[in-house]
Amino acid sequence: MEKNREIRETENIPVTEPERQYYFIEKAAAHLREMSREAGRPLTFCVTTFGCQMNARDSEKLVGILEKIGYVEEENEEKADFVIYNTCTVRENANLRVYGRLGQLGRIKKKNPHMMIALCGCMMQEPEVVEKLKKSYRFVDLIFGTHNIYKFAELLATRMESDRTVIDIWKDTDRIVEDLPSERKYPFKSGVNIMFGCNNFCSYCIVPYVRGRERSRDPKAIIREIERLSADGVSEVMLLGQNVNSYGKTFNPPVTFAQLLKEIEKVEGIRRIRFMTSHPKDLSDELIEVMARSKKICRHLHLPVQSGSTRILEKMNRRYTKEGYLDLVERIRKAMPDISLTTDIIVGFPGETEADFEDTMDVVRKVRYDSAFTFIYSKRTGTPAAVMEDQVPEEVVKKRFQRLLDEVQTIAAEACAVHEGTVQEALVESVNEHDDSLVTGRLGNNLLVHFPGDESMIGSYVNVRLNECRGFYYIGERTEKEK
């Protein structure tokens, strides 16, 4: 009898996606109801995200699935019954943070019989990490990677039905599953994946190994998602990809990123379009033209330079030169004088000399970035740079890093001060964390302004006079005057 039922159940499991996952959401929900009954209270979850905006977007998908299953969100991970870490491995310190916090979680788990811990994201794509977890962190319940995140409900239901750790890691994938639930962090803005993976293999970077080969999402699916978001109150979208400028190249016939942008501009209700990240080698004149003409595409480009030295850029496999980059910046500025430019810079790449570093400083002074993320080179096992000779000594790197940071910050503060006194449109994002008589709004160029207001303004666009620049943000006031 029991056996027959089991067979019937197996037969009923849908084989197509996303139907299969909705089936497992129901199944996990039934288990959760049982677990809640035992505990005598609703069970809670907490998703902690490390790393970039891709991970942040993936976490929204995890939250969407968890809420559909019936878990209730708990902000404090030490109190939650189900803790999920969505991990990053782009630099060594990202990994160390995960291990540190995991040790602490293990101690808490001993005291809570209902507690479960799941690990997912980029770190899980590294075999040595999974080995280490299996050996030294046996209290982890569920481990999965970046390619099968859509299977979260299925994996969770499997874990609920057995008491063994469930581990499912795929090496790569060519599939993209559409139409799964997701829960946005902000009601008025949303990230939208337009592509997954990366094919660039910059020699220092682990992302292509942990995120797999580049795959673009079908433009129709992207537009459908944005139309739905708009109908649901979203007015700002951030298009996400490791290299958005190579979007659609594999389609037959190819679709360019600029063409995709033009389609997205037509979606009613969308007022702001952002995107990241742009690889300088693929940024086309067509894109500059479309941006310059657009009223919706924000005047902001994140254009990681990584190094200003042509010699180092070559060793990094970035496929542009210092001069090529500066020329690109000039073309962009000519078409859009008011554009805000931001960047990523790595200090201490193997073989970097004082002269190479001076080239980086030179680019910083010439481009005058509105802001820059600066990183100390971190050796990632398995990447070509990890085995390059001439790794730069730590003391040298630290000194260079400080010099770069000082320069970047001085220039950013000057660049920010240029807009002092002007009136700009801000999208109100939140009540100010430190002073609840203020709200915080984001300008088109991505800078923040704090000004008097209240919760009711969240999600609306208002004109703000930027009275005072405080380095990286403004203090302002609302005004009716048009900019």
The residues binding ligand F3S (CB under 6 A) are 51-52, 54-55, 88-90, 122, 207, 210-211
Cα(483)–Cα(462) distance, integer angstroms: 11
Q: Is 150 exposed, middle or buried (0-12, 13-18, 19+ CB in 10 A)?
A: buried
Smallest distance from ligand SF4 to CB 313, Å:
12
Residue 333: other Cβ atoms inside 10 A: 14
Using the rule CB under 6 A, is 260 a contact of ligand SAH?
Answer: no
Residues 52-71 that bind ligand SAH (CB under 6 A): none
Residues 190-219 that bind ligand SF4 (CB under 6 A): 198, 200-202, 205, 207-208
Nearer to ligand SF4, 233 or 324 (CB): 324
195-196 and 189-193 strand pairing: unpaired
Cα(87)–Cα(45) distance, integer angstroms: 16
120 is in an annotated binding site: no
Whole-Å CA distances, 216 to 254, 279, 325, 346: 11, 16, 25, 27
Nearer to ligand F3S, 146 or 256 (CB): 146
Closest C-alpha among 34, 142, 158 to residue 86: 142
Question: DSSP secondary-structure letter at 251?
Answer: S
Using the rule CB under 6 A, is 279 a contact of ligand SF4?
Answer: yes
Closest C-alpha among 441, 434, 432, 433 to residue 465: 441
202 is in an annotated binding site: yes
Stretch that binds ligand SAH, among 114-122, 201-209, 428-436, 452-460 (CB under 6 A): 201-209
Closest C-alpha among 280, 283, 293, 229 to residue 256: 283
44-49 and 423-431 strand pairing: unpaired
Please pick, from the candidates 243, 278, 343, 360, the single residue that binds ligand SF4 as defined by CB under 6 A: 243
Neighbouring-strand partners of residue 452: 438
Using the rule CB under 6 A, is 404 a contact of ligand SAH?
Answer: no
Residues 229-258 that bind ligand SAH (CB under 6 A): 242-243
Please pick, from the candidates 193, 242, 246, 309, the single residue that binds ligand SF4 as defined by CB under 6 A: 242
Using the rule CB under 6 A, is 90 a contact of ligand SAH?
Answer: yes
The residues of the shown chain that bind ligand SF4, judged by CB under 6 A, are 198, 200-202, 205, 207-208, 242-243, 279
The residues of the shown chain that bind ligand SAH, judged by CB under 6 A, are 90-91, 204-205, 207, 242-243, 277, 279, 304, 306, 344, 346, 375, 377-378, 380
Binding-site residue positions for [4Fe-4S] cluster: 52, 88, 122, 198, 202, 205
